[in-house]
Amino acid sequence: MPGQSESWNLPKSWNRKILQDWEIDRLLMNLEVTLQKRYRQSTRKDLLLGLLCGYSLKKISQDLHKENAAVRAGLSNIYRDIEVLTGEANKSVKSSNLVYVLEKHGYRRGSVVAAIQRRDIPHNLPAPTYTQFIGREADMKKLLERLSSVHGAHMITVHGIGGVGKTALVLAAAYLCLKASNENSSDAPNFDAIIFTSAKQQELIPTNSILWRQQGQRNLRDIFREIANALDDPTILQSPPNDQFDRVRQILSKRRTLLIVDNMETIEDRNEVIEFLYNLPICIKVIITSREQIALLPIRLRNLPPDDGLQLIRQQAEEKGISINDEDSKQLYDRTGGIPLAIVYSLGQLSGGYSLNSVLNRLTSATGDVARFCFEQSVQGIKGQPPHKLLMSLAIFPDSAILAAVAEVAGLTAAPDAVNNGLARLQQLSLVNLNPETKRFDMLSLTREYALAELAAYPDFEREARRRWVRWYLDFAHNYAGEDWEKWIHYNKLEPEEGNLRAVLHWCEDKEHYEAVRDLWLLLSHYANLYAYWDDRLDWLQWLIEQSERRGEWSCFVKIIVRKSWLLIRECSSVSLKEADKILRRTWILRDHADLCVQADLAESMARLQIRQKDYQDARHWLTIEEKLVIEANLEERQHIRYFIPVLYHQAEIHYLEGEYLLAKKLFQEVMKSAEKISWHRVINSAQNWLADIAIEQGDRDQAEKLLIQGLTVAETTHNKRRLARYRRSLARWEKKWGSAEKAYKLSIKAIDGFKLLGMTRDAQEMQIFLDSL
């Protein structure tokens, strides 16, 4: 086929020579974009390479095995193309000056573009509203890469929530391109024209609230008019309306153009505009900004990370002459959620004389300027539809939530398609984010405040949504919380939900839904005590004690006392042990209100208290009572093992504390065997720790090390905070006796930190004494 390079015999030596001296890929790409001709896969490339090698017409013809006439015609066309590319005069480029012309325009490697080549390309960019563009380095890099002539992208979309900085990013990139184009620099993509159009209808001004714009390009005809004005080409508007598209296309195709269409979501004839943009020549790069996601090579903007957000606050404060300390800056960042527009607006309000508290209150008000500007338009379009219900439901969760929970709270579990489509719509509107790794949905703090105000406007829906929210988490806790024998492996599902679980507890407390707080806390207490650092455990227990006593619900009262005493005994201070003794003796009188299993737990707490007080004889007395209660309960085998294990465990503990290591070892081995029968892994791990301590006391270095390494691995895997602290304590003792003093020191520090976080005062104090002895 004529014109294809396969019919020519291009010497490889040409290619090697050219690649060393010239930026040939950029040159070929620019020729293709500017001339709308194929260069890289045609005879034109071969001829151009021959010229750049400095070869004569005869040499090129010989090497390519072609007639002189055919080569001469091809070379003449190339000269004309170079003139169009570089802007040189017509018929001025020849074989004698081709190298000089291309070198002058910066295509030879290491060459400097001639100063005379500075130009002022036509543009209509609005003046920047900032002195320095802050952050967005990765987004800016991606945008400039896609604007490059070597990138195949024709249309690029930048989307995100209102006020997140879409227009600012695009204008910052456009100004970089403008500077590079005027200076013929390769610092950024070069264009022959840069045109900005915007359909933005509102501006948020700190001094004038929301300002409605009277001008703007809200349809295709407006865009044509702006292009004509920017290029100073009246022929576009003089053409008949039906011919204007072709005229615009014809004019733009003669130059490499950057066309920006800002605020696509408010364009009136959106489909017509997108069709126009899609059909523009490849030499035109189009950037679309929108609050709605458009599947055209999207760049999604999120809130500024803390470092960039705080830098923007400092910049705005300095420009406006405001003094703001680090603490207030951090508070402002948190309240704005890192949304640049909200930050700039807030600093503008401060400079206008408003107090910080007043500004912060305005930010979280659903009727405030920021919330209305960022969300009102997007939310208005989904009211009365599933996305609206999903938005309001997700706002109830203070932390991220899984799809099943959001669907349940929204009352849409029977309509999975509506849920999936609704959440997809919310993501398109940038109102909701989906973490691709965790598969959890969340929203920015400003979005949540607005969505909560929406929720309050629909009290019937809110009442039912809250009821479903509480019910969902009760079911969730029932499935994954509770006692940890056979269930500890599921506790890892609770950690991502901690914030939401706490929110349920607090909301139910505020509404005096005692039963819900009671049931949820009884399910969560094991997890909160062993696997998490909930510093308000005693507060919740005290509230439940008071509420159950006020209601005369004595069976629950006894259960809660057992759990509170467990924490007080674990703290092991003189004050906490005294309080534990007081409440346990009082509750023992009320034991008949509880079933035999709870009574056995109560007796175990009495035994644990006496062990901490080193009254081992009385402790054995209470263990005997506990054993009798377990037998009297006549439990099925697995339950019987579950309630009998604590008797063996504390008997073994007493033997260890009395120095009877052989008896303690035997009983702890029995504890492990019994726990293995019912898969009570926490107790297995705990008994193994005791056996390691016994091995240390007996001088069995290897056995102690083996047990400690195995046990620590399990404790780390299951995130049992108490066991982690105790294993580190034992390992520190091992290192002091047989290993490294430095390792013993580090392990001691970690153990002390763990004990303090868990409120285990005596253990922390004893570990500190050990640390001081190193």
Q: Where are the alpha helices (DSSP H) in 253-385?
A: 270-278, 306-319, 326-336, 340-351, 356-364, 369-371, 377-380
Same domain for 188 and 275? yes
pLDDT in tens, 414-449: 999 999 999 999 988 888 889 989 999 998 878 888
Cα separation of 465 and 170, whole Å? Answer: 40
Strand-pair partners of 24: none
Residues in CB range of 685: below 8 A, 6 or more apart: 711, 714, 715, 718, 720, 723
In contact, 396 and 409? CB cutoff 8 Å: yes
Same domain for 187 and 226? yes
User: Is residue 576 over pLDDT 80?
Assistant: yes
pLDDT band at residue 205, thresholds of 50, 70 and 90?
low
Same domain for 150 and 236? yes
Q: For residue 579, is it within any domain? A: no
Q: Which residue's entry shows tokens 């680090």?
A: 326
Selected residue with higher pLDDT from 274 and 13: 274
Q: For residue 412, is it within any domain? A: yes
Q: For residue 623, is it within any domain? A: no
User: Is residue 34 over pLDDT 60?
Assistant: yes
Query: What mean pLDDT do residues 29-57 have?
Result: 78
Same domain for 661 and 744? yes
Which of these three, 300, 323, 353, is where a domain ends? 300
pLDDT in tens, 371-391: 777 787 788 889 989 999 999
Q: Which residue's entry shows tokens 């081992």?
A: 616
Which of these three, 457, 488, 519, is where a domain ends? 457
Query: What mean pLDDT do residues 143-154 have?
Result: 85
Q: For residue 485, is it within any domain? A: no
Task: Write the DSSP assignment of 432-464 as a string of letters.
Answer: -EEETTTTEEE--HHHHHHHHHHHHT-HHHHHH
Query: What mean pLDDT do residues 317-321 have?
Result: 83
Query: What mean pLDDT do residues 518-539 have?
Result: 84
Q: Where residue 737 sits, what CATH number does that domain have?
A: 1.25.40.10
Q: Which residue's entry shows tokens 């009188």?
A: 589
Q: Which residue's entry shows tokens 């209808």?
A: 201
Selected residue with higher pLDDT from 41 and 350: 350
Q: What is the 3-state secondary structure (H, E, C) of 54-65?
A: CCCHHHHHHHHC
Q: For residue 238, is it within any domain? A: yes
In contact, 703 and 695? CB cutoff 8 Å: yes
Helix (H) or strand (E) holding 299: strand 298-300
Phi, psi values for residue 239, rounded to 5° = -75, 150
User: Is residue 577 over pLDDT 80?
Assistant: yes
CB-count burial class (<10 Å; 0-12, 13-18, 19+) for 483: middle
In contact, 341 and 163? CB cutoff 8 Å: yes
Entry pTM: 0.71
Task: Note the pLDDT of residue 16.
Answer: 59
Q: For residue 716, is it within any domain? A: yes
Percent of the chain with pLDDT over 70: 91
Same domain for 295 and 183? yes
Residues in CB range of 753: below 8 A, 6 or more apart: none
Q: Say how many domains are in the chain.
A: 5
Same domain for 163 and 226? yes
Of 66-70, 102-106, 192-196, which gets the smallest average pLDDT? 102-106
Q: For residue 612, is it within any domain? A: no
pLDDT band at residue 310, thresholds of 50, 70 and 90?
very high
pLDDT band at residue 5, thresholds of 50, 70 and 90?
very low
Same domain for 315 and 385? no
User: Is residue 467 over pLDDT 90?
Assistant: yes
Range among 68-72, 144-148, 579-583 rated most confident: 579-583
Q: Where residue 335 sits, what CATH number does that domain have?
A: 1.10.8
In contact, 540 and 521? CB cutoff 8 Å: yes
Neighbours of 144 (CB within 10 A): 17
Residues in the chain: 774
Q: Where residue 177 sits, what CATH number does that domain have?
A: 3.40.50.300
pLDDT band at residue 486, thresholds of 50, 70 and 90?
low
- For the chain, what percentages of helix, strand and coil (3-state, to nearest 5) are there? 65, 5, 30
pLDDT in tens, 14-31: 555 566 677 887 888 888
Cα separation of 403 and 419, whole Å? Answer: 8
Strand-pair partners of 204: 210
Same domain for 726 and 668? yes
- Could you tell me the two tokens for 406? 């959001």
Same domain for 296 and 312? no
Same domain for 335 and 387? no
Q: For residue 544, is it within any domain? A: no
What's the domain range around 312?
306-372
Query: What mean pLDDT do residues 606-619 have?
Result: 97
CB-count burial class (<10 Å; 0-12, 13-18, 19+) for 10: middle
3-state secondary structure of 204: strand
Nearest to 288 by CA among 414, 198, 378, 379: 198
Same domain for 348 and 391? no
Strand-pair partners of 284: 257
Of 35-44, 476-485, 687-696, which gets the smallest average pLDDT? 35-44
Same domain for 153 and 272? yes
Which of these three, 283, 300, 317, is where a domain ends? 300
Range among 29-33, 292-296, 411-415 rated most confident: 411-415
